[in-house]
Structures are given as structure tokens and as C-alpha cells.
Amino acid sequence: MSTNKISEARPRVAVIGAGLGGMSAALSLAAAGCAVDLYEKNSHLGGKLNVLTRDGFSFDLGPSIFTLPHIFQQLFARGGRRFEDYVTLQPVTPHWRNFFEDGQVIDLDPDPVRMSQQLAKAGPGLEGAFRDFLNYSKRQYDLIDEGYFQQGLDTLSELLKYYGWRVFKLDFLSTMHRSVCRRLPNPYLQDIFDFFIKYVGSSALRAPGFMNMMPHIQFGYGLWYVEGGMYNLAHGIEKVLTELEVTIHRNCEVTGIETDGDRVTGLQTGGIFRPAEWIVCNMEVLPAYKKLLKMPPAACRRLKKYEPACSGIVIHLGVDRIYDCLAHHNFFFSRNQRKHFDTVFRKHEIPDDPTLYVVAPARSDQSVAPPGHDNIKILPHIPWINEEMPCPVEAYHALKDRVLDKLERMGLANLRRHVVVEHFWTPVDIQAMYGSNGGAIYGVVSDIWKNQAFKAPKQSREFANLLFVGGSVNPGGGMPMVALCGQLASDIIIKKLQQNAPENHV
């Protein structure tokens, strides 16, 4: 990644959207010497990294898991800062607690001795297969990190050219689920490791096998919590942006991008034209092409393969008791997870029995709830909004009832009776707040048949000085990936400015 300063006068760059991708790009560009304006339609910075405080509870409305801290350390280093001076991390142990309908409970734990004890609960003779699986996961991660992540590869042809014969070391032709089943001969472990796909909101039945790199992200680099709440990550980046003199425009919705031939010239906010030499767009690609660039349907058709990842209903509960059975991160598994994947990602229907992600952050930070109370977040994955076949709002509320029934049945006794604060979001709310495509939470789906797990390229094909960042472009969704995306996109601009040469299309 480039860290060199730009030699000429400060070029003006407009960044649309202050999600982590936009904030990362703004920081990197300002540190390199650009004059950066950051436009955000909401009052807060951080995009989906958001917070709600109510009656003594503090709910992280967005991401709950922090991984790959070195990517954020690199980001802060670009601005001449130490990440640790702005954000404090604490490790989460166990990583996850996994609940099954038959009463079995299995933790994923970074400690080898404790993990061996948990494996023994799952079944006999699993230690060797588990360690072999983690080694396989590390090999996949190392390969993907070397090229796709660090080199910013954007297309399958770029990937094949970079890796050459080594591409055969990537688990490319199998699905994630098939590779898990081949290496882990135990139904509990198969469900657990299939659901690592939650990081990118996709289906293990349709994601390529190399997505099994994700367990290594967790076991190799740790699982973390941001002290004081996940939103403090956004606060930390915002402080650096202010120190680097980025001009931040809050409550300032961009309504259009102006163009002249194959270049963008600036943007419209509140009826005012604001010129820019470069634009970085943190709005997802398809909504940006439709709403900001007013591109015709034919121009958007090529983006069809970049289907949205899943959405979800998000339930935040403040309860007047503590559920000791919960760890910080928990999964309550479907009786038939293959059916769950198929229902959500192939049939695009609301699942009868989804796997639930349940967060109890008070296990790591008691300040998020009053004494004697618990703070619980519940997220089942469901289809994105299909405007041709919209889901009635009643179906979201019916799913919420089934979700609470499931939790009460699987260990959270009388949960409804203990609720004192409730906040509920549907895909419609997510779409309205963040402008995401179809209310998707994780950007673009990772699907071996639709897009080989690639997202849209970072540089616009039509406009040489327009770049995209965020979960809908490579390297994809999740906090570290969108932060990396912002750095990679800024490097494209920095390199062009340093060369002082005409921009080339991707």
C-alpha cells in the first residue's frame, strides 16, 4: 500500500458516505496530502457502525465482532497515529458459544486445552481433524491475503494472472459446505464452521471453498471487543479525521453526481454544486448508479451478478435479569441449517427456523446495561428486499415471535417477561437508514455460481475519477474488509496523482 505524500498542490477529493470504507479512504487521502470533504446524510459517522442509548442501555446497532486489528493499525499508521492511542481492544473468550436443539452446548475457545475439552463434548477423536481444518483454513487465508487483499485484485482474470499455477492451491471449485463436511466428520462442527459464512452474509452451500479462510481470521488473529462499545471505533477514526483537517459535512445528503464525458466533476447537495477532482463513493454501487448517476437500466444490467447479501431483522432487548447461559457471542442453530441456507439464499423466503446470532456484550463490558440487567442483540439472516415481490411487514413481526419462542425454548426462559427496553429493525429500516441495496447488511453475496465471491471493482468502468468503497466492492463486507477497501481505493488515486498521468479504466 502506498504511503507517499502527493507532491503537487492539494487535489480536492469528495467522499460520499461516512461508513468505515468512506472514513478509511478519507483518512488515507488526507494523510497523503489531499483536501478531503466527507459527506454523510446521517448525523453520526460510522455507517452501519451505529449506537443507540436508552434507559441505561447502550446497544451497538451494527457490527458486533472485531477481527484483524492489524488492518486498522495500518490505517491509523497512514495518518501518523497509533491505533492503540485511540481505540482500546480486549479479547473475547470464548469466541462463541453454540447452542443446539438437542441441548448440546459447545464453545469455540482460543485456548487449546479448553478447546480440546469442547471437542470431546462434540464427539470422540475430533482433535486431529479440527487441527487439520485450522491448518487448511490458514493456507487459504494466507493465499487470499497475499493477492486478493493486499494487491487489491478486482476480477477473476486479475486473480488468475497474479497467482498463475498457484491458483490450484485455492479451494475454488468446491463449496464451503462440501469442504467443511469432507474435513470435519461431525454434525455439530459442520454446522458451526458452515456458519462462519455469517461474516459475509452468504450461504455455505453456495460460497466457494476458499471462504473457509474465515476460521483462521478468528483463531489466528483473535476475536476482540472495543472497550466502551463497538461504536468507539468510529469515534477513534473520527478524531483522526478531524486532526488531519478533513472537512466533515453531517446531515448532508448527496443527491447527485455530475459528469462530463468519462469523468465526474462534482456532486449535488441541497441544490448546491460542489466540484471535486476525484469522488470516492461509499454508497453501494447499484444504488449509486441508479440514484446518484441516473444511469439507464442497460448500464446497470452488468451489475446484476453482484446480488445483495442477506438482510436481517435486528432485535435489541434490555432485560431486567442476567442470562448466565450466554457468552458474549452466541449462536442458536437451526434444526436443519442446510434448509435454512436454501430458504434464505436460493428461494429468497423468510425461514421458519433460522440460525440466530445472539450478542450479550455485558459479558465483556458491564457499562452497556444497568446493574442486574442484560443487553441482548438478536440477528437472524433473512432475504434482502425484492421490490418485485416485497415481503409484508407482518412476516417480519411473525418471524420475531418465532425467534423469541426459539430462544425461550433453548435456554432464555421467560425472555419476553423480562424485557424492559426493546428496539426492532426490519430490512426496510436498514435500507432507509443506510441506503443499502435491498436492505442488505453485508454488501454483495459471495456465490460461486453468480460471481465467484467477487464483488464489484473499486474503480468505475464509466468514469475514470470515480471509485467505490464498502461492502459491495472488493474485498467485500465486514469491518476489516471495508476499512481495507478504503485504503486500497485511496492508493489508486494516490498513485494516479503521483504519476500525474491520465487515469486508466479498470
Tens-place pLDDT, residues 168-215: 999 999 999 999 999 999 999 999 999 999 999 999 999 999 999 999
Chain centroid offset of residue 222 CA: 17
- Give the number of other Cβ atoms within 10 Å of residue 157's Cβ: 9
pLDDT at residue number 5: 65
With bands split at pLDDT 50, 70 and 90, how would you rate the model's confidence at 8?
A: low
- Give the number of other Cβ atoms within 10 Å of residue 372's Cβ: 9
CB 46 within 8 A of CB 62: yes
User: Alpha helices of 145-253 — where are they, by DSSP H?
Assistant: 156-163, 176-183, 187-194, 214-221, 232-243
**Residue in this structure with the C-alpha cell 461509499, named with its chain if needed:** 282
Which set of grid coordinates corresponds to residue 79?
495518518
CB 360 within 8 A of CB 374: yes
Rounded CA-CA distance 359/65 in Å is 9
* Position 501 pLDDT exceeds 60: no
The predicted-structure confidence for 116-156, as pLDDT tens digits, reads as follows: 999 999 999 999 999 999 999 999 999 999 999 999 999 99
CB 65 within 8 A of CB 233: no
Residues in CB range of 10: below 8 A, 6 or more apart: 33, 34, 35
189-203, 267-281, 297-311, 452-466: least confidently modelled range: 297-311
The amino acid sitting at 309 is A
pLDDT at residue number 506: 33
Is it true that the peptide bond before 383 is cis, omega within 30 degrees of 0?
A: no
Rounded CA-CA distance 194/409 in Å is 23
Rounded CA-CA distance 52/372 in Å is 20
Which phi-psi region, left, alpha or beta, contains residue 200 (left: φ > 0; alpha: ψ -120 to 50)? Answer: alpha
With bands split at pLDDT 50, 70 and 90, how would you rate the model's confidence at 505?
A: very low
pLDDT at residue number 71: 98
- Mean pLDDT, the chain, whole residue set: 95
Which set of grid coordinates corresponds to residue 319?
432485560
pLDDT at residue number 4: 59
With bands split at pLDDT 50, 70 and 90, how would you rate the model's confidence at 430?
A: very high
Which residues are 125's β-sheet partners?
none
CB 404 within 8 A of CB 418: no
pLDDT at residue number 390: 86
196-205, 315-324, 386-395, 492-501: least confidently modelled range: 492-501
- Quick one: average pLDDT of 90-114? 97
* Position 257 pLDDT exceeds 70: yes
CB 37 within 8 A of CB 48: no
- Quick one: average pLDDT of 341-360? 97
Rounded CA-CA distance 173/179 in Å is 10
pLDDT top residue among 355 and 3: 355
Exposed, middle or buried, 263 (CB in 10 Å: 0-12/13-18/19+)?
Answer: middle
Rounded CA-CA distance 291/278 in Å is 19
DSSP per position, 123-150: -TT-HHHHHHHHHHHHHHHHHHIIIIIT
CB 369 within 8 A of CB 348: no
Rounded CA-CA distance 119/130 in Å is 8
User: Residues of the chain with pLDDT > 90: what percent?
Assistant: 93
User: Alpha helices of 12-146 — where are they, by DSSP H?
Assistant: 20-31, 69-78, 112-122, 127-144
Phi and psi, residue 356, nearest 5°: -110, 135
pLDDT at residue number 6: 62
pLDDT at residue number 139: 98
Helix, strand, or coil here: 503? coil
CB 465 within 8 A of CB 279: yes
Stated as kind and residue range, the H or E segment containing 285 is helix 285-287
* CA-based torsion, 288, 291, 295, 296: positive or negative: positive
Which set of grid coordinates corresponds to residue 145?
491475503
The predicted-structure confidence for 446-488, as pLDDT tens digits, reads as follows: 999 999 999 999 999 999 999 999 999 999 999 999 999 999 9
Which residues are 46's β-sheet partners?
19
> Which runs of E-coded beta strand occur in 209-348?
224-226, 247-249, 254-260, 263-269, 272-275, 278-281, 311-312, 314-319, 329-332
Rounded CA-CA distance 12/30 in Å is 10
The predicted-structure confidence for 28-66, as pLDDT tens digits, reads as follows: 999 999 999 999 999 999 999 999 999 999 999 999 999
Rounded CA-CA distance 355/98 in Å is 10
Rounded CA-CA distance 146/144 in Å is 6
Exposed, middle or buried, 501 (CB in 10 Å: 0-12/13-18/19+)?
Answer: exposed
Phi and psi, residue 346, nearest 5°: -105, -50
Residues in CB range of 414: below 8 A, 6 or more apart: 408
* Position 503 pLDDT exceeds 60: no
Length of the chain counted residue by residue: 506
